[in-house]
Amino acid sequence: MKHRFLIVGLLLLFGLSSVWAQTEPPEADSMVVDSTELFPAAVSDVQVVDKPNDHGHAVIVTWETSADDGGGKNNVLRYEIFYSTSFDGPFDSVGAVPAGTGEFRHIGSKEPLDSAFVPDYTDLFYQIDAVTADPTIRTTSDVLGPVQCSGQWFNTGRIPVLVAVLIFGLLTAFFVLSAKRGKKLYVRPIGGIEAVDDAIGRATEMGRPILYVLGLGSAADVATIASFTILGRVAKRVAEYQTELIVPTYDPIVMSVAQEVVKSSYFDAGRPEDYKEDCVHFVTQSQFAYVAAVNGIMLRELPATCVYMGKFFAESLLLAETGSLAGSIQISGTDEIAQIPFFIVACDYTLIGEELYAASAYLGREPKLLGSLKAQDFAKAAFVVLAIVGLLAANFEWSEFTTLFQVID
Amino acid sequence: MRRQIPFGLVFIFGIFMVFQFFVPHEKSEWVYEFLLDWIIVIGIFALALGIWSLFKVSVEKIKQGKEGGNYSYITLVGLYMMMAFGFTQQTGDGWGLYFLWIMLCSACIVSLMRLRASTDSGKKRMWALASGGLLVAAVLVAIFDDAWAFFLYTPEGLENSMFEIFFDHIMMPILATMFSLLAFYIASAAYRAFRARNVLASLLLLAALLVMSRFNPFIPGAEYVANASNWLMNVPNLAAQRAIVIGIGLGIVGTALKIILGIERGYMGRG
């Protein structure tokens, strides 16, 4: 029994001593390493320039990577970039990039009270540290600078866009003027637009209302603006046929504009007394609450025709399927690529992408509007030709041609 | 003149926006951001118009005795109660007469709606008296109850537990329910779309089956199916999408030009 206690006691003593041995700090002398051998070579050929084509407050720093980055001692882990407004410092860290990188974009804030503010028209100095796994072992480059940053008045990286816009503008002007002079322009028929009149006639015969949904876009979206124009045409026909129109809106600004559009259409149709302001009304700015409200209107009012034109997101199929259940003829149009398949499946007619923008011109048949459609068609033809030439140029490594259209931001 | 001034403004600001895209300078950005701020300012004023429109339409539904008209009470009481929750918060541990105040406000809104919906003058007088009485009672409770207070300029109201309960536990589940309906609607729409009525529809069905099987590891030859569906998505599908995107881009530029130059005037009510 005594031996057993003795053995247990010895084991405990052994265990405790081993734990103590592990926790005791090692002798300091044995850890001393000549760390100067581990210091990596500094970066070389450092250049600092003002970032071009921007609003200022930004500098591009480039360098040749350290000789110990990917070679030599191969111990550089990252580069840290410091900047100061004085040659003598103090230098503040502005960021870090991993080893192998030779460029850093110091994009500062333009707000003077922001800690990341970088002043324009002021001398700026930079230093780059090649840092190893141990942050204390690093090599600092010489101080680089001064460099001054400033904003530019023209973004040369966007010249291809400017040229394209100018050519397209000239094409539009040419065809609008041609149309004004009386030249007949052929525009291919769009099934969805031709169906609008029939759909309004159907609603009149059935004595049921027409539901027009402008989507979830704001009044600043071009798709919503195109939708306003189509709404104007639809409202004019509705006024002529004396049918009821319901326009539930998602955005109060869109509501105000739509009210004005519908009111003007009733005036144009010579029936201002039939206009009811509440036919265009605000519902909510919550996406699915809006869907619930519009679906409720569909199932209660059973509209003969539902028209969806504008920007639509996840609610597109929820609306279109409910309209289908309500037995309505449905015409839709959106420029949201992801929603087009849903509309195609659930609606009777769908305006795909650009057809939404063409619809107003097609409905109005005004020469000026048709002229712009022709310009679009020619621009598309030009795109097709350029795409084919670009394909050949890329395959034959004709980089002069492919870089010609590069937009640099 | 009523139309010329808006067209002039559209032209000036439209041209400015076109040039601003090519001018990155700080001063040009400042004007751009200043103009964008105006959208927010106009939006706030328009929201008041929107709420007024919602109130009028809801009252009209009650007035006409339309089907589902009673939901209008819930809509408006919900709207104003959430506003009330968002501007109030308890000052101590208890709620005092807060719930009485909420009930008085709700009753006041309902009686105001009844007042506007009534056509009979006797009933109008009765609802006017009821609304006035309830409003006075609600104001008195708000003045004399110290357990809670109004926070009109600071965000304490957004931490009101009532606001959180109604938003997180009522509003969010309802919205999630609406969104989840999409799964069933996709199934029913897919059923209609994928019926093999002709050659093209059959091709669509085949492509859909391939794409749907893409992530199913249990089907025989899963790797080949995945490769085939990836090719469908990345080559023909992407090519068609890019064509549509180019068309949309041109359509947007064309429409914008027409609006700036005043060729397209439909959005101002001149079709």
pLDDT digits (tens, 9 = 90+) for A75-85: 888 999 999 98
- Return d(Cα A299, Cα A296) in angstroms, integer: 5
Q: Please answer yes or no on whether A354 and B269 come within 8 Å at the CB atom.
A: no
Tracing tokens 């509309």 back to the chain, one arrives at A343
**Helix, strand or coil for residue A214?**
strand
| Whether pLDDT at A32 is above 60 | no
Residues of B within 8 A of A263 (CB-CB) are 269
At A27, the pLDDT band (50, 70, 90 cuts) reads: very low
Comparing alpha-carbon positions, the chain B residue that sits nearest to A151 is B25
Closest by alpha carbon to B58, among A278, A57, A234, A273? A278
Tracing tokens 């959106």 back to the chain, one arrives at A334
Domain match, B162 and B123 both: yes
- Top-level class of domain A37-147: mainly beta
At B196, the pLDDT band (50, 70, 90 cuts) reads: confident
Global confidence as pTM: 0.84
Residues A176-214: pLDDT tens digits? 888 888 888 787 788 888 888 888 889 999 999 999 999
Q: Please answer yes or no on whether A232 and B266 come within 8 Å at the CB atom.
A: yes
**Torsion (CA) A201, A206, A208, A214 in degrees, nearest 10:** -30
Q: Please answer yes or no on whether B26 and A151 come within 8 Å at the CB atom.
A: yes
**Helix, strand or coil for residue B89?**
strand
CATH 1.10.30 holds for A191-365: no
Is B188 in CB contact (< 8 Å) with chain A? yes
At A26, the pLDDT band (50, 70, 90 cuts) reads: very low
Q: Please answer yes or no on whether A165 and B253 come within 8 Å at the CB atom.
A: yes
Q: How many domains does one find in chain B?
A: 3
Domain match, B216 and B257 both: yes
Nearest-CB residue to A337 (from B188, B241, B258): B241
Domain match, B212 and B232 both: yes
**Helix, strand or coil for residue A88?**
coil
Tracing tokens 């398949």 back to the chain, one arrives at A341
Residue B185 lies in a domain: no
Domain boundaries, chain A: 37-147, 156-182+369-403, 191-365
Residue that is last in its domain, among B180, B213, B248: B180
Residue that is last in its domain, among B119, B151, B180: B180
Residue that is last in its domain, among B16, B40, B67: B67
Q: Please answer yes or no on whether B50 and A255 come within 8 Å at the CB atom.
A: yes
Query: Cα–chain-centroid distance for residue B214?
Result: 35
Q: What percent of chain A has pLDDT over 90?
A: 46
Residues of A within 8 A of B178 (CB-CB) are 288-289, 291-292, 318
| Residues facing residue A307 across a β-bridge | A212, A331
Whether residue A264 contacts residue A232, with contact meaning beta carbons closer than 8 Å, is answered with: yes
The 10 Å Cβ neighbour count of residue B262 is 17
Per the structure, the complete domain to which residue B199 belongs is given by 194-268
Class of residue A101 by CB neighbours under 10 A (exposed 0-12, middle 13-18, buried 19+):
middle
Q: Which of B264, B265, B268, B270 to mutate to test the interface with A (most CBs of A within 10 A)?
A: B264
Closest by alpha carbon to A172, among B256, B96, B174, B62? B256
The 10 Å Cβ neighbour count of residue B66 is 14
Q: Which long-range contacts (C-beta less than 8 Å, at least 24 apart) are formed by A183-187? A: A185/A367, A185/A370, A185/A371, A185/A373, A185/A374, A187/A358, A187/A361, A187/A362, A187/A370, A187/A373, A187/A374
Q: What percent of chain A has pLDDT over 70?
A: 91
| Whether pLDDT at A97 is above 50 | yes
Residues B156-185: pLDDT tens digits? 888 888 888 999 999 999 999 999 999 999
Residue B130 lies in a domain: yes
Residue B54 lies in a domain: yes
At A172, the pLDDT band (50, 70, 90 cuts) reads: confident
